[in-house]
Amino acid sequence: MEAFVESAIDHQDFLPQGSFQSLVTPERVKDVFDFSAGKNGISPKLVNFVVQKARRLFAILAMTGTEILPALESLRQYNFTDEDLPISRDTINDNCDITNTDRKCSHLPPFSVFHKPPWDRLTLLRFYNEQWKFLAPVFPNDCRNQQLSIKCILPFIKAPLGGERKSSFFSDVYQVKIHPSHQDVHFPTGTNNTLMALKEFRPASEMPGDSKTFSLFHREAEILGNLARFQNNNLVPFGGSFSRGDRHYVLFPWADGGNLREFWLDHDSRPLTRELMSEVLQQLTGLVDALCLIHEQNCRHGDLKPENILRFIDKDTRLGVLKISDLGVAKHHRELTTLRSEPTQTRIGTVAYEAPEAVLSLDKARSRLYDVWSMGCIFLEFSIWLLDGRDGLRDFTRDMMGQGAYYHIQPRDQGGLQAEVHAAVQRRLEGFMQHEAWTEGTSLGDLVRVVANRMLVVALPQAASLNKRSASPVPWVSADGSIGDHGVALTISPEASFIDDSAPSISNSAPDVHINTRADACTLKTCLKQICNRAQEDSEYLLPLHVI
């Protein structure tokens, strides 16, 4: 019994996978058989059967107190092995499906053993109840939507300090540790392979109204599984997905640095160094690259916010590695075009970071450009944290408190509604521009211009233009990497009304400097890479010496 381990989730004991080899040895099997057989002797074939094919069966029978020799001999004769476990409840009740006049069962031949002595109903019931202690699952790298019995014991052992739990409307996330012999999940470097996050989606019975729990689980598991093959460093790695009864789970590595919101509140940007500035630029570029990958797979995230940007500690950097998570709201786009005519069915995303079209275009589907607006909100808050520290970010949060989103809605003279970038956001962007030491020819200044001119922009390009790709430099990025040198002014509230089919398109030529439209993620990736490249070559551009 000392070899058993308690599951931290189920509070039941299980025998770890790695214990069978050491506990069920040929010598121990012979000892048990000698004791049971007495003077009758034992069959070498039966010992070999146990060691090669039936270690679990041997352990289960030993636990139930069943006469082990006749039970194992019957299993050997019918070639019922560990591979045939678990037995189902129907086996106990003898609910065999008789399909022909010969009264032969429709189940697989090995299961016919349970119609013979010594397998009476009481023996089968004990076997059924005890088998789960020896059948805790192993989670491989390719574990996708694995279906587990409701009786299955999960091999999660207690994490340090008893683990943590974080709750949201649709799910709970637990900090767990998979028993080493049940973990065949390997993540890229930069993640902790020991601690895992177990995301449990709440069952429909616990949710009010028309629950979409299973849809969210299936969507997140599918998207994470599909994206896993790219091994993007700024996407949370996929550790597997499984269901047990009406509960659904996704596994991924535990973010030992919390989330981006927690980082901003717990750490100050001071002292601001070139090393930190470089780390921020690299991570923001990585996040946009990850978002571009999501969009290239015909998906959108739909709920980007600092709480869904996880932070993994890197001992060599202050910031660590940032990874996009929580793709349960993410949605596939089956069509080739980015904008669709069918309306989006739900409004699950967090209101503070939602794009204006969530309100102005309720009868239309959201585009992937929705994510770009949300990422623009995150980038702006990151810029505030860099410039004014956590106190400045708190002040901005207070200014936005009660305002809802980064935009506000007002009626149009000709009827209908229009959106404008929120006044508090406008004031903050104007404040950035007054820091001439920061904004003229600096990486942060160019980053803020990107946010203002091509991310927090209400106007959307025409749908057809989003499928066009140009190998030429981004029109609003100069050859030396600076933003705005083509005369694109900082337009804090550009053409505020929501534009759909009448919106200007992104073309290969320079856009009208008076009308900006929101850029797509892959265009932003090109821009951010240019900023990073220039910052690597020019330390004064990265962070001017006189502001350090």
Q: How far is CA 100 from CA 94, 105, 106, 147, 456, in A?
A: 17, 8, 9, 31, 70
- CA 465-342-422 angle, to 5 degrees, is 65
| Range list for CATH 3.30.200.20 in the chain | 139-253
Name the 3-class secondary structure at 412. coil
Can you tell me the distance from the alpha carbon of 201 to that of 224, in angstroms, rounded to the nearest whole number? Answer: 15
Sequence-ordered strand ranges (E) for 378-459: 407-411, 417-421
The DSSP symbol for 70 reads H
| Residues 283 and 289 sit within 8 Å (Cβ to Cβ) | no
Listed in sequence order, the residues at least 6 apart from 534 whose beta carbon sits closer than 8 Å to its beta carbon are: 443, 480, 481, 482, 541
Which residues of the chain are modeled with pLDDT < 70?
1, 37-41, 94-107, 141-142, 159-165, 168-169, 185-193, 204-214, 328-350, 362-365, 402, 436-439, 463-515
pLDDT of 331: 56
Q: Which fold has domain 139-253?
A: Phosphorylase Kinase; domain 1 (3.30.200)
Cα-Cα-Cα-Cα dihedral of 95, 99, 103, 105, to 10°? -50
Contact 455, 519 (CB under 8 A): yes
CA angle 33–34–39, rounded 5-degree value: 125
> Given the DSSP bridges, would you call strands 417-421 and 407-411 parallel, antiparallel or unpaired?
antiparallel
List, in sequence order, every beta strand (DSSP E) within 204-332: 240-244, 247-253, 299-300, 309-312, 321-324, 331-332
- CA distances, 160 to each of 174, 175, 194, 409 (Å): 12, 9, 11, 48
> What is the distance between the alpha carbons of residues 389 and 499, in angstroms, rounded to a whole number?
36
What is the pLDDT, as a whole number, of residue 106? 61
**Residue 283 token pair:** 């991570």
Predicted TM-score (pTM) of the model is 0.81
| Residues 423 and 408 sit within 8 Å (Cβ to Cβ) | yes
Give residue 465's pLDDT: 52
Which H or E run contains 242?
Answer: strand 240-244
Token pair for 132:
């789960």
The pLDDT value recorded for residue 343 is 43
**198, 184, 186: which is closest to 241 by C-alpha?**
198
Residue 540's pLDDT is 94
Q: For residue 385, which amino acid is it?
A: W
Q: Copy the structure tokens of residue 171.
A: 């799910």
User: Which of 362, 262, 241, 368 minimizes the C-alpha distance to 305?
Assistant: 262
Q: Compute φ and ψ for 377, nearest 5 degrees.
A: -60, -45
- C-beta of residue 49 within 8 angstroms of C-beta of residue 42: no
The Cα 389–Cα 316 span in angstroms is 22
d(CA 418, CA 400): 20
Question: Running DSSP on this structure, what letter comes out for residue 454?
Answer: I
For the chain, what is the mean pLDDT? 80
Predicted pLDDT of residue 350: 67
* Backbone angles phi and psi of 55, in degrees to 5: -60, -45
- For residue 33 the two structure tokens come to 């058989």
Q: No. of H helices and E strands in the chain?
A: 17, 17
Question: What is residue 293's predicted lDDT score, i.e. its pLDDT?
Answer: 95
